[in-house]
Amino acid sequence: MITRSESIYVVFPMLITFTIIWGFYYDELKKPLLFSSVVLLLWFSYKIWELTYFGSFLPNTAFGEDINLPVRLRNILSLNSAYLKASADYGWIILREFKINLFFMAVPFIIFIKNEAEKVFLSTVTGMMVILSFLYPFFFGPTRLDVGRANTHLVVIIALFVSTVLFSIKDKKLLYLILPSYLILSGFWIETHREKPFYLCCSTSKFEKIREEVLNRAKKEEIPRPSFANPDLGAISWHKDFNIVDMGKLGSPVLARLNNPVVIKDYIFKFVAPDFIELHDIWSCSYSYIFADKRFENMYEPLWEEKTPWLSLHCRKFPYVKTGVWIRKDIEKNSGSKERKFLNYLASNLSLKRIKYELKKCQGKSGITACQYVTRNVYRFIPELVRKGNYKGVLELFTLDKASNYDLAILSARQSSVWYRKVISFLYRYELKKIVHPENLVASGKLEVYIKDGHLLILNKSCQVKFKEGVFNIKFVPSKSACFSHSNVFT
């Protein structure tokens, strides 16, 4: 239950089944309730620690993979036919992938159990596991990459099932006969049905090659602790060479929770501005709007890039999208940019006085993003600042200089479990301030509609429940005062 948060989906029904069957056969509930309470208490204790550390009961992967339980439950309760059909189709795939007959290989051993309560419990749990496997996508949706991932927790339950059967056999002679037979049959089954190892998406050697390539370029450019935006999925961050911005979302609480391309683009280009970006095939296509933004070409140059056959086949709508690795121009050793000069100074002399001077110099220029190069590079050296005992001094410095909520959230992240919430709140407020002005208001009523520079914003200030989520049909009616075309207005 600790390594897989959603395993409570399997364990909780098992505890209920255990309690009911025990109560029925032994006419008392104190022991099973105590046992179940201890299990759940341990689980809740871990989840409370998780909330304290990560700021959320749900793991980041739930947001990254768009696992939204309330929305899925509403679809089930409202009998959404399309949703139910898609979930059922995927449920059958899960059962086929898991080869459901593995369960029933163990069923014949139930005849050796003399205790009727154990026999009923194990039989019930076996059937329940089949049903829960089928229903898994109704609650959690399809798994990313690996269909069988929905069933990995069942390995533990099968082990429990088999061990319970073997321990219930009191006749040693019979046990010595059954155990070797079981191992031989199991080994035969595994050997005849196993699949050769295969990569779910791509070889880890490809990630290693990219890691070495970027690391070597970072060393050549003398970039300490470079920031690296890529669909990491844990492969590159394992080595702890970079500050990772996980475009795959599983390792980035900010990107996992952002779903607005306009906000994501400003986050990438104006705020986090990673030193390196790597995207490939499906991820390049998913982030097509990154490539379409003129800031990408202005800010980054390729280490290498190519139009792969996959993109030519599957991403035809976005011909400008490429697979490749890019470096930010301003961070290169010979760029002469103010950011590079500041980085060089910090690398040789991590001085609070220089940080204060740089903040004073950049404030008041180009709005709230003018000092982001200071924030990025101070963040880069936080481990060194902590070791020197200057970390609190830096936070005080940014607070006194009235830095933005974004800066304070990023720099104090090691002390706050909800830093990413502050970042997300800041980013959305930042976008609102850019467009919510009287001169941009084109319609008002229950909702206010703003249009500026090809951006359309529908704002509901009252935040009534019925407007929190929905599908809007927007009709543009030409008038004498204005004429809008769908080609230059987008949400």
Distance CA 154, CA 176 (A): 26
Does residue 104 register a pLDDT over 70?
no
* 28-44: average pLDDT: 94
Does residue 254 register a pLDDT over 90?
yes
Residue (of 472, 476, 473) closest to 486 by Cα position: 476
Burial of 468 (0-12, 13-18, 19+ CB in 10 A): exposed
Distance CA 446, CA 462 (A): 8
Does residue 60 register a pLDDT over 80?
yes
**Region of poorest pLDDT, from 168-172, 348-352, 448-452, 467-471:** 467-471
* 136-140: average pLDDT: 92
Confidence of residue 107 (pLDDT cuts 50, 70, 90): low
Confidence of residue 108 (pLDDT cuts 50, 70, 90): low
Does residue 94 register a pLDDT over 80?
yes
**Region of poorest pLDDT, from 80-94, 175-189, 347-361, 451-465:** 451-465
**Region of poorest pLDDT, from 273-287, 311-325, 357-371, 395-409:** 357-371
Burial of 318 (0-12, 13-18, 19+ CB in 10 A): middle
259-296 per-position pLDDT tens digit: 889 999 999 999 999 999 999 999 999 999 999 999 99
Does residue 178 register a pLDDT over 90?
no
Q: What is the 3-state secondary structure (H, E, C) of the chain?
A: CCCCHHHHHHHHHHHHHHHHHHHHHHCCCHHHHHHHHHHHHHHHHHHHHHHHHHCCCCCHHHHHCCCCHHHHHHHHHCCCHHHHHHHHHHHHHHHHHHCCHHHHHHHHHHHHCCCHHHHHHHHHHHHHHHHHHHHHHHHHCCCCCCHHHHHCCHHHHHHHHHHHHHHCCCCHHHHHHHHHHHHHHHHHHHHHHCCCCCCCCCCHHHHHHHHHHHHHHHHHCCCCCCEEEECCCCCCHHHCCCEEEECCCCCCHHHHHCCCHHHHHHHHHHHHCCCEEEECHHHHHHCHHHHHCHHHHHHEEEEEEECCHHHHHHCCCCCCCCEEEEEEHHHCCCCCCHHHHHHHHHHHCCCHHHHHHHHHHHCCCCHHHCCHHHHHHHHHCHHHHHHHCCHHHHHHHHHHCCCCHHHHHHHCHHHCCCHHHHHHHHHHHHHHHHHCCHHHEEECCCCEEEEECCEEEEECCCCCHHHCCCCCCCCCCCCCCCCCCCCCCEC
Give the side-chain half-sphere CA count within 13 A for 284. Answer: 28
Residue with tokens 């002005």: 437
Distance CA 393, CA 483 (A): 55
406-430 per-position pLDDT tens digit: 999 999 999 999 999 999 999 999 9
- What pLDDT is recorded for position 287? 97
pTM of the model: 0.82
* 375-396: average pLDDT: 95
**Region of poorest pLDDT, from 49-53, 129-133, 426-430, 457-461:** 457-461
- What pLDDT is recorded for position 129? 84
Give the side-chain half-sphere CA count within 13 A for 5. Answer: 17
Does residue 21 register a pLDDT over 60?
yes
Of residues 191 and 339, more confidently modeled: 339
Confidence of residue 467 (pLDDT cuts 50, 70, 90): very low
Does residue 338 register a pLDDT over 90?
yes
Confidence of residue 366 (pLDDT cuts 50, 70, 90): low
* 151-168: average pLDDT: 75
- What pLDDT is recorded for position 487? 38
428-442 per-position pLDDT tens digit: 999 888 888 889 998
* 347-354: average pLDDT: 92
- What pLDDT is recorded for position 35? 96
Does residue 203 register a pLDDT over 80?
no
Contact 210, 236 (CB under 8 A): yes
Residue (of 266, 227, 247, 220) closest to 377 by Cα position: 227
Confidence of residue 380 (pLDDT cuts 50, 70, 90): very high
